[in-house]
Amino acid sequence: MSKVLNIAVLAGDGIGPEIVKQALDVTKAVCKKFGHTLNYEEGITGASAIDAVGEPYPKATHELCMRSDAVLFGAIGDPKYDNNPSAKVRPEQGLLKMRKELGLYANIRPVSTFPSLIHKSPLRADLVEGADFMCIRELTGGMYFGRPQGRSEDGNTAYDTCVYTREEVERIMHLAYKYAGQRRKKVTMVDKANVLASSRLWRQVTQEIAPQYPDIETEYMFVDNAAMRIIQWPKSFDVLVTENLFGDILTDEASVITGSLGMLPSASIGIHTSVFEPIHGSYPQAAGKNIANPLATILSAALMFEYAFNMMEEGALIREAVAASMDAKVVTEDIAGDGKAYSTSEVGEWVVNFIKGK
């Protein structure tokens, strides 16, 4: 059945525009193949929006997101802010504002391996081969949003607050169980309940909810131990669910299993429009050089078809094309190793042509 897809495209900063262009071209090719109509509109965000209008998530961009069926997102961040702790407006505030205002409480980051990349992982091949798990990171609570946050008057003390409510924990745990039910039926809830009060709420709420899912195994793990286990025994995870900051850190770690940070896509879902973005940042050193890996963004487009439009065949075709590009060794420098490094646009075009030829 052909459909109309209305998407917002927010390229953002750094390599954002280059990688999003490739994902958008892939999206266009898939829509053409399946007879869907694609309407897309671009919006500004991040440092580029600060430069243009003085704020990183302008109202017009929010309105665009709200009236779209899905948001394809690049990256946010600019080094001129990273080493300036006293900057009044920061590009990252735009990303956080978007997450909060769109109610994107769950960030889904699937971690799986590609056969042709196994040997690119710094981890032993037998450890990572077949690893396939889903990280669900809570995205609108915890230390990122807890108040108070700030500095004492004399500037010598600083504080952040980690806040969670029962409702926030409940909704994400139910989501974790739902996905585990469709997978290998295991949930690992990662916390620091031996130290943090907020973690003890997570654990208590999870213990209350778990009996509603008798066919799903619930495992509880402290975050320090989880950091070790992700490297040591990644195959032991199925659905890993955790709070915002732990999830931020653990998913960068988990990307090592895939072989490159440039390979991990994500879907942020919640109350309003869902957002699809690579987990890597704006990689400013590579901006404008046409060398960044577009595959995480292209795979985010696959998640967009699946999660936002329930178009499984379309998503599967993108995955197939991405796997084929790696088998053909048409890859960017981060995964090329001793082989030839292709440019961002060459990889994107290869994927598009594969889809057209199918």
Catalytic residue (choose from 164, 192, 213, 283): 192
For the bound state, the minimum distance from the C-beta of residue 346 to ligand IPM, rounded and expressed in Å, comes to 27
- Catalytic residue chosen out of the listed positions 69, 132, 160, 248: 248
| Catalytic status, residue 144 | yes
Q: Within 95-124, which residues bind ligand IPM (CB under 6 A)?
A: 95
Look up 78 and say whether it is catalytic.
no
Return the residue nearest ligand IPM (CB atom).
92
- Three state DSSP letters for 142-204: HHHCCCCCEECCCCCCEECCCCCCHHHHHHHHHHHHHHHHCCCCEEEEEECCCCCHHHHHHHH
Residue 78 interacts with ligand IPM (CB under 6 A): yes or no: no
Number of residues near ligand IPM (by CB under 6 A): 7
From the list Mg ion, ligand IPM, none, which binds 110 (C-beta under 5 to 8 Å, kind-based)? none
* Least separation in angstroms between CB 310 and Mg ion: 28
Side-chain half-sphere of 162: how many Cα atoms within 13 Å? 16
Alpha carbons 237 and 215: distance in angstroms, whole number = 16
Nearer to ligand IPM, 203 or 278 (CB): 278
Binder among 160, 170, 248, 349 for ligand IPM (CB under 6 A):
248
Q: Is 334 a catalytic residue?
A: no
Site residues (CB under 6 A) for ligand IPM, limited to 79-98? 92, 95
Residue located via tokens 């981060």: 334
Cβ distance to ligand IPM smaller for residue 92 or 333: 92
- Largest interatomic CA distance in the chain: 65
Question: Counting contacts by CB under 6 A, is residue 76 touching ligand IPM?
Answer: yes
Q: What are phi and psi of 80, to 5 degrees?
A: -65, -15
Q: Tell me how far CA of residue 53 lies from CA of 61, 74, 94, 99, 137, in angstroms.
A: 11, 19, 12, 20, 31
Enumerate binding residues for Mg ion (CB under 5 A): 248
Please, are residues 323 and 114 in contact by the beta-carbon 8 Å criterion? yes
* Least distance (Å) between residue 212 CB and ligand IPM: 30
Residue ranges in 151-210 that form contacts with ligand IPM under rule CB under 6 A: none
Distances (CA, A) of 301 to 52, 169, 175: 27, 28, 21
Residue 330 Cβ, how far from Mg ion at the closest point, in Å?
Answer: 27
CB of 353 to ligand IPM, least distance (A): 30
Could you tell me which of 259, 250, 303, 260 has the C-alpha nearest to residue 280? 260
DSSP 295-324: HHHHHHHHHIIIIIH--HHHHHHHHHHHHH
The answer to whether 248 is a known catalytic residue is yes
Contact indicator for 23, 349 with CB cutoff of 8 Å: no
CA atoms within 13 A on the CB side of 204: 12
> Is residue 71 near ligand IPM by the rule CB under 6 A?
no
Residue 334 contacts which entry, ligand IPM, Mg ion, none (Cβ below 5-8 A, type-dependent):
none
Least distance (Å) between residue 283 CB and Mg ion: 12
Task: Kindly list the residues in this chain that would bind ligand IPM in the complex (CB under 6 A).
Answer: 76-77, 92, 95, 248, 279, 281
Q: Which residues are catalytic?
A: 144, 192, 224, 248, 252
